Structure 1
Amino acid sequence: MAAREARRSDQPRGGLSATTLRAIERASGEFATSAVDEMQRRLPWFTKMTADQRASVKLVVQTGAAGFVEWFHDPRSALRMTVLTFRGAPRDLSRWVSLRQTVELVRVAIEVYEEHIPSLARDEAERDRLTEAVLRYGREVAFAAATSYAAAAESRGAWDARLEALVVDGIVRGDAEETLLSRAAALGWAPGAPATVIVGGSPSEDQPTMLYEVRNRAARTGRPVLIGVQGERLVVVLGGPIERPAELEDLNPMAEVFAEGPVIAGPTVPRLAEAHRSAAEALSGLRAVAGWPSAPRPVRAVELLPERALDGDADAQAQLVEQIARPLEDSGGALLETVQTYLEAGGVLESCARQLYVHPNTVRYRLKRTAELTGRNPLDARDAHVLRIALTVGRLNRS
């Protein structure tokens, strides 16, 4: 009777005898130690880890070896068991072990298993079965490791996305400098890097693709970028200066990502802590751009100073006075009188000359001086409009 029970308890399970499975289970600790020793021998970076870190790796390896026996009892639980092997590990290991290094660890461990486990077989049939099983189990472990790291990466990506949205929202609101900079630094943004805020409509469909396009286009120009979607509005903070003509060209590919409608770029500020100024001007331009139906896309907020001033933007009014009205007033009466007369004459140079009792060449010279002084050429229709609004605002401020 006892002999029959012993034979019954040693019946094959999944192609292996219970005796062999027990031998593998008892040897799991030895296999784990051998695997760690092999890792120390073959992987230079592994020897630089602390004792606690190596102990964590050994625990994962030993758990994986024990899971090999469980896998034979229930092959359908293979994925569940191997995922459990890594469930707690990535939160610790992924901080100091990359996915590439984890693959190297798995490869070494499986090679050790492949070398030692088949030696516990009772016969040639079990040896073949064990060799095949080690390879299959190794595949499951490798996929489990990749799945765990992918889940950890997704979690970090979701957290980064939320943090990025907070940074962009803080820029729009003008949050405290310390809070903004610490969050931006966590995203890899250099606090001293120049920044330009671009605003426009957000595409309503396929938002992940849109976000990818923004990052891809920014990467092509070698610029860091922060992105925030605020309802129907897309806010992009682009790193680096955007002042010279070649730099302004970088705005064109970025504008293509926005939804149909105007795209406004604020001024470039010297560092991220001042980006709220760029955001304020860009958003002011977005509200006022309807006053200039033929505005280019994208358009700088500074080009919308007249519309912003008429919309009640006190900062735009101050800029018009400081940049145009006051320099003309300080230059002397002749220059200011010539510009005012030229604008009132409907831009007809000869008519302006007759009203001022001067030669047309004198008017041309004074208009050229005006362009040099203010950056606005009275002979250009748009610049003439800006000059007219600036002089009007200047007169209203004096009244």
Structure 2
Amino acid sequence: MAEPHRTAGSGIPHPNGQSPDASDKPDSMAVPLPEPIRTLVRQAEKDLGDKLPWYEDLPQDSKQILKELIEIAIASFLTWKGRQDSLPPDTGCDSEQGMVSLPAPLEFSQVISPRQAMDVTRVIVDLLENNITVFAREGEPEDETRDTILRYAWEVAFSAATIYADLAEARNSMGTRTETLIIESLIDGSTGRQVTTGLTMLGWPADYRCFAIVGRTPRGGKTSAGIIHQRIRLTLEQAGARVLMSQHNKLVVILADMEEAGTPADLCAGLLRYFDKESPVCLGPLRHGIHGAVETIQAALNTYTVAPAAEGLSVDGGLPRPLHADDLLPERALMGDEKASDQLYQEVYKSLSNGDRNNPLLVTLSTFLVSGNSLETTARRLGVHPNTVRYRLKRSIEVTGWDAMNPREAFVLQTALKIGQIRDAQEQMQEPRA
């Protein structure tokens, strides 16, 4: 009796002594499988909905790709097993011949998640283990076939894990480059399409509330900067915030979309342990959208720059942690931060003047600040009772939130008034003469 024909590399006899013709395969990825095995695979494909809870939610084209990939995996097993069977006895599994590459990795990773890939691997292994007699070569003991199947399952699982690890690393690398590009653009004040497109690619919505954190991570410690960055990111994400992060001039620059994560101060407080204890950690103001992202990042960076000039912000003479950008408005204005100057002008000077440069609140506060913070001197210069001065100063606190009796806050107010006086003078110079 003639020896039955064996499919190349598989060691499995094919019925009728003929190799299956690719032309009789209904699928686009035609795979030459022996008829008994093809029947088993077709039945397994029909049962995918029962074995994989997520299968029915896949689009039809993804279902088709998944089925084709299962067929390719079975054909790959036949080829792999054929190579193992061809090795001399007692040589074991040859590492060069035994390595398995998961078929069509790109399509596979686009269709299902890593966890789902493991589910599919389990379906493939079950198909092999439950039909040992079909996959065994003639006269091969079942235990030997089962061992071969287990080795193959291990190879496939390892291959799938490697593919997803490589994809994750590539995506992480791409994400890191995109984040760096976005952060550097925002630092420069750029809000063009490239930036907005990058944010969309990273899953940011069109509108968001964001704030920035700027600081220096510990130097010379046992933990690498990369690990610290990952811990910062994980802490914020676990709190419910979206995160962009990049390194800029040896500083870590973080932009966080709050969503429903809490207040910026609360979120920043949970990160302080990751920053250098000898350097300031600066918190930008809460802002909206892409232009707000530029403002809060620049504010936090400028706050870090002027931090050495900050005095009187805490009882012990040190710097608060975190250091709020709004607490250093005068220092930022002095270094040329236009947003800080605008904020002081609008929130202090314009609020006090209320459209009138001779508003009593504005005049009283200005006189008080240039009179050595003396109620009596201020009252004499204005020709009013000291109680009137007290009342107007109290009202100015209600309007601006800053107390002229506090030396630090008096400096903030005086800076704001000087900015207002300069801008008023510039406006007067530009006004047409009658």
Short-chain TM bin = 0.7 to 0.9
Q: Does 1:178 align with 2:182?
A: no
Q: Kindly tell me: are residues 78 and 268 of structure 1, through their superposed partners in 2, closer, same or farther at Cα, counting changes over 3 Å?
A: same
Is residue 364–residue 393 contact of structure 2 (8 Å, CA) maintained in 1? yes
Match of 2:167 among 152, 155, 158: 152
Aligned to 1:388: 414
After superposition, residues 20-39 of structure 1 pair within 5 angstroms as 23-24=11-12, 29-30=33-34, 33-34=38-39, 36-39=41-44
Q: Deviations over 1:331-367 (max 9, x none)?
A: 7453233223332343344554465554443222111
After superposition, residues 317-356 of structure 1 pair within 5 angstroms as 317-329=341-353, 330=356, 332-349=358-375, 352-353=378-379, 356=382
- CA RMSD in angstroms comes to 3.3
Aligned to 2:83: 70
Amino acid at match of 1:29: L
Gaps of 5+ in 1: 1-17
Q: Kindly tell me: are residues 35 and 283 of structure 1, through their superposed partners in 2, closer, same or farther at Cα, counting changes over 3 Å?
A: farther
Is residue 164–residue 226 contact of structure 1 (8 Å, CA) maintained in 2? yes
After superposition, residues 71-220 of structure 1 pair within 5 angstroms as 71-73=84-86, 75-78=92-95, 81-84=98-101, 86=102, 89-118=104-133, 120=136, 122-123=138-139, 126-204=141-219, 206-220=224-238
Q: Does 1:57 align with 2:91?
A: no
Distance in 1 (CA, whole Å) between partners of 2:184 and 2:213 is 13
TM-superposed CA distance for 1:383, in Å, is 1.2
Distance in 1 (CA, whole Å) between partners of 2:358 and 2:40 is 88
Distance in 1 (CA, whole Å) between partners of 2:120 and 2:359 is 82
More helix by share: 1
**What TM-score comes out, normalization by structure 2 length?**
0.76
Q: Deviations over 1:185-234 (max 9, x none)?
A: 11111121122122222444512221222122212432111111124011
Q: Helix, strand or coil: the match of 1:29?
A: coil
Distance in 1 (CA, whole Å) between partners of 2:347 and 2:55 is 63
Is residue 280–residue 307 contact of structure 2 (8 Å, CA) maintained in 1? yes
Q: Kindly tell me: are residues 179 and 356 of structure 1, through their superposed partners in 2, closer, same or farther at Cα, counting changes over 3 Å?
A: same
Is residue 240–residue 259 contact of structure 2 (8 Å, CA) maintained in 1? no
Aligned to 2:27: none
Is residue 215–residue 252 contact of structure 2 (8 Å, CA) maintained in 1? yes
Distance in 2 (CA, whole Å) between partners of 1:102 and 1:313 is 53
TM-superposed CA distance for 1:306, in Å, is 0.7
Q: Kindly tell me: are residues 76 and 360 of structure 1, through their superposed partners in 2, closer, same or farther at Cα, counting changes over 3 Å?
A: farther
Farther-moved stretch of structure 1 (351-360 vs 316-325): 351-360
TM-superposed CA distance for 1:385, in Å, is 1.0
TM-superposed CA distance for 1:146, in Å, is 1.9
Match of 1:250 among 267, 272, 281: 267
TM-superposed CA distance for 1:46, in Å, is 4.8
Aligned to 2:46: 41
Gaps of 5+ in 2: 1-5, 16-31, 312-317, 426-434
Q: Kindly tell me: are residues 207 and 151 of structure 1, through their superposed partners in 2, closer, same or farther at Cα, counting changes over 3 Å?
A: same
Amino acid at match of 2:84: W
Q: Kindly tell me: are residues 69 and 296 of structure 1, through their superposed partners in 2, closer, same or farther at Cα, counting changes over 3 Å?
A: same
Is residue 353–residue 360 contact of structure 1 (8 Å, CA) maintained in 2? yes
Q: Does 1:230 align with 2:248?
A: yes
Q: Deviations over 1:285-311 (max 9, x none)?
A: 222222104442222222211111222
Distance in 2 (CA, whole Å) between partners of 1:357 and 1:301 is 39
Q: Helix, strand or coil: the match of 2:211?
A: strand
Amino acid at match of 2:154: R
Amino acid at match of 2:82: V
Aligned to 1:275: 293
Distance in 1 (CA, whole Å) between partners of 2:149 and 2:359 is 94
Distance in 1 (CA, whole Å) between partners of 2:10 and 2:328 is 80
Q: Helix, strand or coil: the match of 1:379?
A: coil
Is residue 10–residue 78 contact of structure 2 (8 Å, CA) maintained in 1? no
Aligned to 1:303: 327
**Matched residues, percent identical?**
28
Is residue 272–residue 322 contact of structure 2 (8 Å, CA) maintained in 1? yes
Report the count of equivalent residues: 380
Aligned to 2:429: none
